[in-house]
A = this chain, B = another copy of it.
Amino acid sequence: MKFYDCKTAPSPRRVRVFLAEKGIDLETVQVDLGSGEQFSEAFRKINPDCVVPVLELDNGRCLSEVLAICSYLEELNPEPPLFGKTAEERAVVLMWNAKVEQQGLWAMADAFRNSSKALTNNALPGPDNYVQIPELADRGRTRVAKFLERLDSQLADNEYVAGNFFSVADISAMVTVDFAAWIKIAVPDDAGNLIRWYGEVSKRPSASA
C-alpha cells in the first residue's frame, strides 16, 4: 500500500496520527499542495477530486476520504481499536467524528480558505475554482469558536470525545484544535475540560505525526 500525504495539511494528518497509533508504517508520497501538484494529470488519476489523503492499495485501487481510509486500516489492523469495541461504541465514535467534521473541521476550512491570500480562487478544495466569500470566513470563525464550547461541554462528562476510550473522533478533534490555533482561534481559558483533554491527547507520541 502507498499513502499520499502532505505534511502541512490537516486532513492527511488525521491519517498520519491514526497510522502512528496503530504502529503502521507505510510507503509515503508527499504531494506538494503549495505548488498545485494535486491538480497535475498524474495525481488526477490517483484522485480526480484533487485532495489528499489517498491510500493506494496493492491492487491499484485508490481510496480517498479520511473516514474510508481509517476504517479500512482498522479492519486490517484491529489493534488497538480506534473505532470503539462494541456496536454502540462504534456508533458513538462515528457520530462524534461526523460532528467534529461538520461543526469543527469544515467550519475551519471555511474560515481558512475564504481568507487565505494564497487561495483567492480556491475557496473549496477540489478541481473547480470558487472565489472566496468573506462572510463565510467570518461565519467559519464563529462556528469554530462555538464548536470548541460544544466540545468542552462533551468532555465534562467524558474522558475522551466519544466516551472513556481514545478513538478516531479524538484524532479528528485534536487536528481541529491544532489547526484552529494555526488560524489564531484559541481554546478559551475557561474551557477546562477541553484543556484537560487536549493536554492528554497532545502528549501521546502519535500527536507529533
Contacts and interface: CB of A to CB of B under 8 A. Distances in A.
Contacts of A48: 150
Interface string A49-93: 100000001000101110111011001100000000001101110
Interface string A148-190: 0010000000000000000000000000000000000000000
A95 B136 CA distance: 26
Contacts of A90: 71-72, 75
A119 interface: no
A75 B90 CA distance: 10
Contact of A72 (B49, B88, B150): B88
B76 A95 contact: no
A170 to B, nearest CB: 16
A71 B94 contact: yes
A32 interface: no
Interface stretch (A2-10, A20-28, A127-135, A194-202): A127-135
Contact of A139 (B76, B99, B103, B130): B130
Chain A residues touching B, majority SS: helix
B91 A69 contact: yes
A167 B79 CA distance: 27
A146 interface: yes
Interface string A90-132: 1110110011000100100000000000000000101010100
Interface of A: 48-49, 57, 61, 63-65, 67-69, 71-72, 75-76, 87-88, 90-92, 94-95, 98-99, 103, 106, 124, 126, 128, 130, 133, 135-136, 139, 143, 146, 150
List the 10 shortest-distance A-B pairs measured between CB atoms, nearest first: A68-B95, A72-B91, A68-B94, A65-B98, A75-B87, A65-B95, A68-B91, A133-B135, A63-B91, A71-B94
